[in-house]
Amino acid sequence: MFLIQKRRQGMKVEIKVTQDGSHTLYLESIDEHYHSTFGAVQESQHVFIKAGFDLCTSTEIRVLEIGFGTGLNCYLTLIESMSLNKTVHYHSVENNPLPDEIWQKLNFGAHFPAIAPELFSSLHRAAWNCEVGILPRFFLHKIEANLLQMDFKDLPTFDLVYFDAFSPEKQPELWEQIVFEKISSKMKQEGILVTYCAKGNVRRMLQSIGFQVERIPGPPGKREMMRARKASCG
Place 200 in a pLDDT band, splitting at 50, 70 and 90: very high
Task: State the pLDDT at residue 8.
Answer: 43
Reply yes or no on whether the pLDDT at 234 is more than 70. no
Place 233 in a pLDDT band, splitting at 50, 70 and 90: low
For 133-185, how does the pLDDT look when each residue is reduced to its tens digit (9 = 90+)?
999 999 999 999 999 999 999 999 999 999 999 999 999 999 999 999 999 99
Does the predicted model carry a pTM greater than 0.75?
A: yes
Place 29 in a pLDDT band, splitting at 50, 70 and 90: confident
Place 6 in a pLDDT band, splitting at 50, 70 and 90: very low
For the chain, the structural domain boundaries read 39-230
Is the Cα torsion angle 140, 144, 147, 152 positive or negative in sign? negative
**Domain 39-230: which topology?**
Rossmann fold (3.40.50)
High-pLDDT (> 90) share of the chain, %: 86
Burial class (CB in 10 A: 0-12, 13-18, 19+), 2: exposed
